Structure 1
Amino acid sequence: MFIEEKSNPGLSNSAATIRDYDNKHYMHPWEAMWVEDGADRTISARAEGIYVYDQNGKRLIDGPGGMWCTQIGYANKEMADAISDQVMQLAYHSPWNTASEPSAVLAKKLADLAPGDLNTVFFTTGGSTAVDTAIRFMHFYNNRLGRRDKKIVISREKAYHGSTYLSASVTGKERSKSWFDLDRENAILLPNVNPSIRPEGMSIEDWCDAKIADLENAIAEAGPDNVGAFIAEPILASGGVIIPPPGYHQRCLEICRANDILYISDEVVTGFGRLGHWFASKDVYGIEPDIITCAKGLTSGYLPLGACLISDRVLEPITGKGQEDIMFSNGYTYSGHPVSCAAALKNIEIMERDGLLEHVREVSPHFLKRLHALRASPIVGDTRGVGLVGCVEGRIAAEGDRLALDHEFGNRVDRKCEELGLIVRPLINMCVFSPPLIITKQQIDEMFDILEEAIRSVEAEAEEGFA
């Protein structure tokens, strides 16, 4: 059942009216400036476990896990109680002039969970502001060391790092046309690292060599004295779950160290269990970066919170005696928000107690087996995945505008899946999956059974020619 009408003067909770209010008054993220007859969005009415229920009470598996973030699933009573208790204890405090127990304890907990010497935590409002803070810290760091030209950030095509000015400037989603101004003068985007696009006959090792050469050449061309940071997601999530070749991250870190360039590992998606570990940088890819950014799974999406973790090695030359009058003047009204930090602490507690990291490592082979079985379809060009994150990339063999065909694939699969009870997140011709970490093998089968049926249906339509 959808929400019943409530006594709210002048307003209505009917599904039709909610959709009308939404279309007329709510500008969504990445919103088209005009849609004929208004957008026909599904209205999420409630959620429980791995399922979301629409305005008609229809149950849908949440394939993308919200926005890669609902690790412990929906409607967790322990989480609700922890949030409620903190609201009544201390709903807010100013991080400028007071401290709080939740933020202090969470900072210590994150330092314990993080690899190496990443022992200092700056809290932000989400992933974009965590990346923005990391880049601003790099500016601050190099200015303090008298290296005011060392500001260029090297990123990659297909990378997504956020929507603030700085984080968007180092984002490389080339198929999404942007009408915003970006600071591309201080950003370099390296070519696609996806091993599946390597030339026929090229080994994965040679492909890795070529991608490392891209980084070396970019540094040489810009000049090491002008490059301040290299930023990389362990896997390029929104770019289509692109997994760089083995050894790539370790070799990139070595190059950064040799050229005194900060390595920023953007773990907004991969952190907090998505790949079966608290952080993927060290445990999956064998690196200890200078900075880690995280958000999303930090609170399982229950409340907004991000964090920027900075290593002792980097902080050491710009902190200590003699630095009393030097201020890192960056921050947010909601930095270290006590209720968000309490939610993160409860989230981590639940994940530890219930063994969710071990669970991910146990069920992910089955998840990946079902994912890769989809390659049998002639309209599936590639599948990619690691841990509990995956991507199905469509490839329609037809004449016509390639971008239009790719959009058609994604939209049709999206519609078919929703009819059958599954939410997918089409990124043009790619459907990405990052379900709640509590998903069972049986539910994984349920999810992929629906996706297989949807793909078969679209395959039949493609053979007849899309109308």
Structure 2
Amino acid sequence: MSLSLPHTTEDILRADEHLVQSWADLDALKKPGARTAIVSAKGVMLQDSDGNDLIDGIGGLWCVNVGHGRQEIIDAISRQLSTLDFYSTFYTFTHPTAAALAQKLAQLAPGNLNKVLFSNSGSVANDSAIRVLHHYYERLGQPGKKLVLSRQGAYHGSTYLTIAMTTPQYSKGWSRAEGIVHHLKKPHYWREAGDMTEAEFLNALLQDMRDQIEDAGPENIACFIGEPIMGAGGVIVPPKGYHKKIQALCREYGIKFVADEVVTAFGRLGHFFASKDVFETQPDIITIAKGVTSGYQPLAATIMSDEIHDVISGPDGVFTHGMTYAGHPAAAAAGLANIALMEAEKIPEHVQIVGKIFENSLRSLEDIDIVGEVRGSHFMIGIEFVKDKAKKTLFDSALNIGMQVARRAQQKGLVVRPLGHILILSPPLVLTEAEVAHISGILRESILEVMNALPRACFL
């Protein structure tokens, strides 16, 4: 006998009082109307417990790349559970589905990234990348190489270590691993460059990295970790050529280059992996999650080079790291089915066309007075609101402009993600041109309504 689920909005929210929701203002959630219960989904559409139809403008959370309710993935999960519900890839055991997915990921990943360590979240994948590299250097007789270069504005997760690699503003009031991470300057040209040209700003970023390496000592630095495009830090696109030159500095100083593709992999920028195809880099490690199963099952991976694996798999040592559910059969089946669907329907190629239409459509919102910058690429877009475009000054944080616009948009049938003075959109990758136009229209109406309702004093 199974437990019955709550059905009415009132019953769902009463039960939800026992749930601690991630990355939420827990005090604000106590207020009436603060929470939305999503009860079903199909394609790019959601339905809430009051029967409202909503476009999923955030793809679950950067991850429902192929859209909701794809029977191909659901059936693959069901078939797998009826054959082998669970066995761990632990110690001497494996199973066909995890092995096949690891092989497929090695085929898709660029260069010599042929070894796959599974986990169940992007946070753990990034945490694992650092643990693996620390172990790698221990086995090479370089135990001092422990430091990690990250960046202001980064988001790499919320474990004790990965929150330290994340931009410091996200760990305010929380403890974190100390003494390991050095944060480089934020590579946001529009807000950080001042009077510099883009080329001058790029040189300043590279000099900042070189200075920090020299100060810390390259013999003490394990790696640089970076998202190709920063996600939860505000959808920040570095200057052209940035990643390629950062990688060159890493090579110069003997530092490993880790690409956090938890968001950008599996089609969001029009390719299965963005590092090589978009940014012309060859990382030593790529971390993935989210889009690898389109969110149908929790799955992540740390994909490492043959060279790193050769060192950690040598004699006289056991790889004492791993998770119980790593390579879970149902999750691996979801990953295989998701990738097969993306290949059969040419979804990355679809993104290369419709994703640019989406990007350009949202960039047209910059003609609105309070829209300071629309940034990002393809189906990964951030909209920043300002009270003065010329000075790029922000509204008082108490106004929470992003939340105001998000609420208006939801009333009109679109879910977007507010982040203070920024809105983030990361919809399913299967949007049509008509749906793109509809989203753009809702956003324009919502932003204008919020702007026109603001008292004049807010702009002073």
Tell me, yes or no, whether TM beats 0.5: yes
- Tell me, in whole angstroms, the C-alpha distance in 2 between the residues paired with 1:267 and 1:452: 30
Residue 177 of structure 1 and its aligned partner are, at CA, apart by 5.2
Task: Please tell me whether the aligned partners of residues 413 and 458 of structure 1 are also in contact (alpha carbons under 8 angstroms).
Answer: yes
Identify the residue that residue 301 of structure 2 maps to in structure 1.
307
Please give the alpha-carbon distance, in whole angstroms, between the structure 1 residues aligned to 2:248 and 2:268: 26
- Percentage of pairs with the same residue: 39
The amino acid across from 2:403 in the alignment is: N
Q: Given residue 88 of structure 1, which amino acid in structure 2 is its aligned partner?
A: S
Where do 1:136-215 residues align within 5 Å? Answer: 136-174=131-169, 176=170, 178-215=172-209
SS in 1 for 2:224: strand
Residue of 450, 453, 459 corresponding to 2:445: 453
* Equivalent residues of 1:396, 1:405 under 8 A apart: no
For 1:326, which of 305, 314, 317 is the aligned residue?
Answer: 317
Give how far 1:149 is off: 1.3
2:431 aligned to 425, 436, 439, which one? 439
SS in 2 for 1:375: helix
Residue of structure 1 aligned with 2:38, choices 35, 44, 47: 44
Would you say 1:98 and 2:77 are equivalent positions? no
The CA distance in 2 between the partners of 1:202 and 1:348, in whole Å, is 42
Q: Aligned runs of 1:384-423 on 2, under 5 Å? A: 384-397=375-388, 404-405=396-397, 408-423=400-415
Tell me the equivalent position of 1:233. 227
Give the Å deviation of 1:31: 3.5
The 3-state SS of whatever aligns with 1:414 is helix
Shift of 1:13: 2.8
- Residue 113 (structure 1) aligns with: 108
Instruction: For 2:409, give the aligned amino acid.
Output: C
Name the amino acid aligned to 1:215: M
SS in 1 for 2:400: helix
Using the size of structure 1 for normalisation, the TM-score is 0.93
Q: Quote the residue 2:353 is aligned against.
A: 362
2:245 maps to 1:251? yes
Deviation string for 1:347-387 (max 9, x for gaps)?
00000000101100011221111111111111111110212
TM-superposed CA distance for 1:216, in Å, is: 0.6
- After TM superposition, the score normalised by the length of structure 2 is 0.95
Which residue is 1:128 aligned to?
Answer: 123
The 2-side partners of 1:41 and 1:375 are apart by: 30
* 1:18 aligns with one of 12, 29, 33: 12
Q: CA RMSD in A?
A: 2.1
Which is worse superposed, 239-248 or 29-38?
29-38
Deviation digits for residues 151-177 of structure 1 (CA, Å, limit 9, x no counterpart): 000000110000111111100152x45
| Gap runs ≥5 in structure 2 | none
> Does the C-alpha gap of structure 1 residues 252 and 65 become closer, same or farther in structure 2, counting only changes over 3 Å?
same
Which residue pairs with 1:427 in the alignment? 419
Q: Secondary structure at the match of 1:130?
A: helix
> For residues 426 and 230 of structure 2, what CA distance do their matches in structure 1 show?
13
Q: How many Å separate the matches in 1 of 2:399 and 2:7? A: 33
* Amino acid in structure 1 at the alignment position of 2:24: E
For residue 32 of structure 1, report the CA deviation from its aligned partner.
Answer: 3.1
Structure 1: gaps spanning 5 or more residues: 1-5
3-state SS, counterpart of residue 55 of structure 2: strand
**How many pairs does the alignment contain?**
455
Q: Deviations over 1:100-146 (max 9, x none)?
A: 11100000000000001000000001100000100100110111111
For residues 440 and 427 of structure 1, the distance between their equivalents in structure 2, rounded to whole angstroms, comes to 26
Aligned letter for 1:441?
E
Q: CA deviation at 1:295?
A: 0.2
Q: Is the 8 A contact 2:136 2:311 kept in 1?
A: no
Report the Cα distance in structure 1 between the residues aligned to 2:33 and 2:52, rounded to whole angstroms. Answer: 19
Deviations 1:391-431 (A, max 9, x none): 10011249xx9574375211110110011000010011111
1:350 counterpart residue number: 341
Deviations 1:185-224 (A, max 9, x none): 1100111110112444421111111111111111001011
